[in-house]
């Protein structure tokens, strides 16, 4: 913890590039397995373990968002860098990134009111999108 690199150099391998690229090919949340399958169909053979590893890295780096389905499965989606939330269609998965000072302020004040520090929060909105209505 004194002088070692916290993040060792990342090599831009064929597999990593393939995963990153695949992430740009859809706009909703997909599971690691889905993405693995998608890669296969495209002809980019990538091991399942590698897909998991890569998604993890991307998530840590804040380049993809991770959500949990009701069943506890992790699902991923590329995302913008700033803090935001999602409005997700329950039926087709169509996702809109949303943000706004209102919630941020509200959560902060609620936390402060109870003396909680280092506040973070998760918020997802679900609904039926216009196309699926």
Partner DNA sequence: CTCCGGTTTGACAATCGTTCTCAACTGATC
Partner DNA sequence: GATCAGTTGAGAACGATTGTCAAACCGGAG
Partners of residue 77 on adjacent β-strands: 65
Element (H, E) at 96: strand 95-98
Distance in Å, CB of 125 to DNA, minimum:
22
Tell which positions 45-84 bind DNA, by CB under 7 A: 45-50, 52-54, 56, 72-74
Toward a copy of itself, which CB reaches closer, 49 or 123?
123
Closest by alpha carbon to 128, among 92, 81, 96, 76? 92
Stretch that binds a copy of itself, among 3-11, 28-36, 40-48, 86-94 (CB under 8 A): 86-94
Pairing of strands 64-68, 74-78: antiparallel
Note the residues at the interface with DNA (CB under 7 A).
8-16, 31-33, 45-50, 52-54, 56, 72-74
């Amino acid at each position: 913890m004194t002088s070692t690199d916290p993040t060792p150099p990342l090599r831009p391998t064929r597999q990593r590039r393939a995963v990153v690229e695949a992430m740009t090919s859809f706009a909703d949340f997909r599971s690691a397995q889905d993405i693995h399958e998608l890669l296969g169909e495209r002809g980019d053979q990538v091991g399942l373990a590698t897909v998991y590893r890569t998604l993890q890295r991307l998530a840590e780096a804040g380049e993809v968002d991770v959500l949990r389905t009701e069943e506890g499965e992790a699902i991923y989606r590329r995302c913008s860098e700033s803090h935001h939330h999602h409005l997700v269609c329950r039926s087709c998965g169509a996702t809109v990134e949303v943000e706004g000072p209102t919630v941020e302020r509200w959560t902060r004040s609620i936390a402060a009111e109870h003396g909680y520090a280092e506040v973070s929060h998760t918020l997802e909105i679900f609904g039926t999108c216009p196309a699926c209505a």
